[in-house]
Every structure is written in structure tokens, then in C-alpha cells.
Amino acid sequence: MPDFLLGEGASLKNDLLSGLTVALALVPEAVAFAFVAGVEPLVGLYAAFMVGFITGVLGGRPGMISGATGALAVVMVSLVALHGVEYLFITVVLMGLLQIFAGILRLGKFIRMVPYPVMLGFVNGLAIVIFLAQLSQFGVPGEPGWLHGTFMQDSILDVAWLQGKELYSLVALVVLTMLIINLLPRLTTAVPSSLVAIVVVSGLVLGLDIDTKIVGDVASIQGGLPSFHIPAVPFTFETLFIVFPYAIILAAIGLIESLLTMRLIDELTESRGRGNKECIGQGVANTVAGFFGGMGGCAMIGQSMINVNSGGRGRLSSISAAGFLLLFILVGSQFIEQIPLAALIGVMFIVVVGTFEWSSFRIIRKVPGTDALILVVVSAVTVATDLAVAVVVGVIISALVFAWEHAKHIRIEAREDHKGSTVYAVTGPLFFGSVTSFLARFDPRADNDDVIIDFARSRVAAHSGLEAIDTLADRYVAAGKTLRLVHLSDECRRLLKRAGNLVEVNVIEDPKYFVAEDSLA
């Protein structure tokens, strides 16, 4: 077996068996997300196959599972409702091209800027979303839920709960599935416990003729091979104007979820994926999916966790999962449709337990309050809206906290030198967060007639710092004092509008760094 397919730490048996387990769990998820997006089940299943296979071959993270996801489906639904499924296909093509472009520009590295509290919030939020997505299986379709008539009606929690024996049977089978998954590894790890649990519970339901919902009750998964299809839309600027905003949002959500999932799998497997390669792999997969009638997709944290926990490590696990899914669609639909939904719900509940960072409850009182706030906010926004919004909100809060904290780090020490000049030594970054504190430290009226401000241990960042220096220069000139600015970089000297002639140039000692300022662009 080529090293490309297995890789370090992977085995043929584990990758094939974990791929089979993942494929079984992919069926109801792909069907459910297709319904969320407002398209036919096969559109979701084809997407799961094509995206999973292509990213398995071309992606940057062996062992990570990709397919149709809820994070993308909730964005797609309005496009499908307003313009139809053909517009979805061309949007998925454009989404893929944007992701390829992001990979070529090597934008994947920017995922490192996501702080750890945001990462924890992302993981916890997705675990909650996965859990809530299973609740619909405990309800009666088409009937008003228990929250009907309140502001929570039609939400994911508004379920018309099953009653009596049907509910008890479903709960019992879910619990049995979870017990098998938890206890079997203590006896043997020769086969994935999730696969054993699905087989045992399916056999029990069929053998005892237990009345419970099966995959076939949700939708038929029988179909043929996906065929090439150019989206039937007018190729005009009007079409581009419609689909481009959706494509940008979908591309961003897909890449963020994929790269954050990759980071999580990296930690679990103690290895490192390649973010830019994953961007290109996801882009190629979505471009192909759009031309073959698929709804597109990205990395799936739940199925990726199933794969890793089942022993899947190499590319073969992702490729085999896609291959088994295609076999289910072509020839095995009558068997897969007999699998009880309870078994698949139990597998996903185990994923929820394994995905959620329970340690966050323990550390939330020990970490800084701002980190705890970021964790909670990102989790809540992930559940309430979508992943991209949550991560952007988390990064913005983190950046503001960082700026606020570093605004306190600027120090200004005043002394009088042997010539009778007042000398200020500035230490720390001068940027928008610290300019107020910087200006408050100077008193032109009380200083000596000759004043020196030394920036040897400071760095001026962006326009706000330059404006602060110019403002200070105006104050000293108005007070009739002689001001000299030393150890400023060449970029600062060129950008200062009023204080530029007050800067002493020392070619040897003055720093050489670049100021983030559009005037130099």
C-alpha cells in the first residue's frame, strides 16, 4: 500500500473499518443537511461523496472527513428558496474557485491568529450544534413542538416529542449504542466500537422486530452515479451579482471550519496538517461538486472525530469513507435504509461528549475573565448564528482585549541631563490604544526650555502614533520650547507632517522598521 494513502501511524485495516463507520454516519447527516438547504437528499449525498473523496486525495490533513455540513446549509437555504437549485450549483463552483485562490495566496496561515479561547468556543459551540441537531429525531415530523406559541417556536428546540413506547424504545437503543461504544474498547480494539454498536443495535431491532425509526423513514438514498452538469443559469453580471455574496460567505465558512477542525485533529494525533493545501483541496472538491450536482461542503468535526477515534489516520480512511458512501447509494441502499436512527444518534452523542471541552468548566474560573467571556460568547454565537460570525466576533474581542492590555505597557521616564535638557525615554508600542496615555505624560509648561524625546525603546505603529507625535510637537512649539525627537525610524520621519523638522537624524543608531501606514503604499 503506497505511503501516500496510509502515511505514518496508519494501518490498512483501521483505515478501512473506520471509513466504513464514518460512511454509515454520513448518510443521515448528509440527508438532514440537504433538507436544511432545501434540496433533494441525493444532492447532499453526492456532495458528501465528492467532497470527501477529493479532499481525502488532495487535502492537507490525512484522516480528516469532509462532506455536506450544517454550517453551509443554513446559508444555502435562502439562495435556493429565492433563485432555485441551479443557482446553488454555480455558487458552489464559485465558492470552490475562491477557496483555491485563498490557498494559492497562502491565506491558510492566518488561522494561527485565532486565539485559543476562540478555539475552545468553536469546539464547544459545534458540539452543542451537533447535539441539538439530533433532537429532531426524537420528534414527530409536521406537528407543532412543545415551544409552539412562544418566541422559541420553529427553533431547533421546538420538537413535538415522541410519546410512550416509541420514545422509550428510541432512548433505550441510543443508550445501548453509547454503552457499547464506551465499553467495547476495554475488551478489544480490533474493530471500531462505533461500527460494532451499529451492527449490534441493527441486528437487535431486526431480530426482535422493534418498532423504531430507521434511515429509510427519513429518505430514500438510492441513486446512480453523479453526472456532469453545467448549471442552467444565465452567465451574466446579474447572475454574478446574485451569487457572489453567497460564494464569499460559503467560502469563508468552509475554510474557517475546515482549518479549525484541522487544528483540532492535529492536537489529537500529535501531527500537523498543511493549511494552504487544505484550502486548495477544499476548493477543487467544491468546484467539482458544483458541476456534478452536489451542494458543496467542508470538514465535518463530528465525522472527523469518529474517524480518529476509530483508528483512522491516513488518507485511505477518508477515501474509503467516500467510496463506501457511493456503494451505499449505488447498490446498498436497501440495507443502509434498515439501520435504526437510534444507532446513528448514539454515535453522534458519543461524538458530542468527545468533542466538547469539558475542561473548560474547570479552567473558566482560573483563566482571565476576558478569556472566559470570549469562550462563552463564541460558543453562544456559534449556536445562534454560524461559525464564521462566531470566529470573527471572537477574534475582534481578542484583538480589542490585546490592544487594551498593551495600551498599559507604554512607559515614559523623565530626567534632566547634564546640559539642563528635559529628556523623556519612551518604552513600549505607540499605537491607537496607547496614544492617550502617551500624551498625558508630558507637561510642556513645566519642562525645561530644551526637551528631548527618545524613541530608542519604542515603536511607532500606524497613523495614530504619528498623529500623537505631531500633536505633542504642536504643544511644545506653542509653549515656546525647543523639542528634539531622536531615534525615530526613517518611515516615521517621512510621515510626520508638523514634527518632521524636529527629528534628529542618526544614521547609525536610528531604527529601521516599517510603519503600517497607507501613505507608504
DSSP H stretches of helix in 105-141: 116-135
In CATH, what number does 408-520 get?
A: 3.30.750.24
Closest by CA to 42, choosing from 52, 33, 31, is: 31
Residue that wins the pLDDT comparison between 442 and 409 = 442
The SS3 of residue 424 is strand
Cα–Cα dist 317/64, whole Å: 8
- Helix (H) / strand (E) element for 485: namely strand 482-486
- pLDDT, tens only, 99-132: 999 999 888 777 767 777 887 887 788 788 778 8
Summarised one tens digit per residue, pLDDT across range 468-501 is 888 888 888 888 888 888 887 776 767 676 566 6
Residue 84 near residue 346, CB atoms below 8 Å: no
Single-letter amino acid, residue 218: V
pLDDT at 50: 95
**DSSP tag of 456:** E
The CA-based angle 262-266-272, given to 5 degrees, is 95
Could you tell me the residue ranges of all domains in the chain?
A: 11-136+219-338+356-370, 408-520
Distance CA 500, CA 281 (A): 50
Instruction: Provide the grid cell at 100.
Output: 483555491
Tell me how far apart the alpha carbons of residues 248 and 98 are, in angstroms, rounded to a whole number. 7
Q: Is the pLDDT of residue 173 over 80?
A: yes
CA pair distance 183, 192, nearest whole angstrom: 12
- Kindly report the CA angle at 382 between 378 and 383, in degrees rounded to 5? 120
**pLDDT tens string 291-327:** 999 999 999 888 888 888 888 888 899 999 999 999 9
- What is the β-pairing status of strands 411-416 and 422-430? antiparallel
Cell numbers for 503: 527629528
Cell of 263: 487544528
What is the per-residue pLDDT across 318-365, written as a single tens digit (0 to 9) for each?
999 999 999 988 988 888 888 888 888 888 888 788 778 888 888 887
**pLDDT attached to residue 247:** 93
Q: In this predicted structure, what is the pLDDT of residue 31?
A: 77
Residue type, 25: A
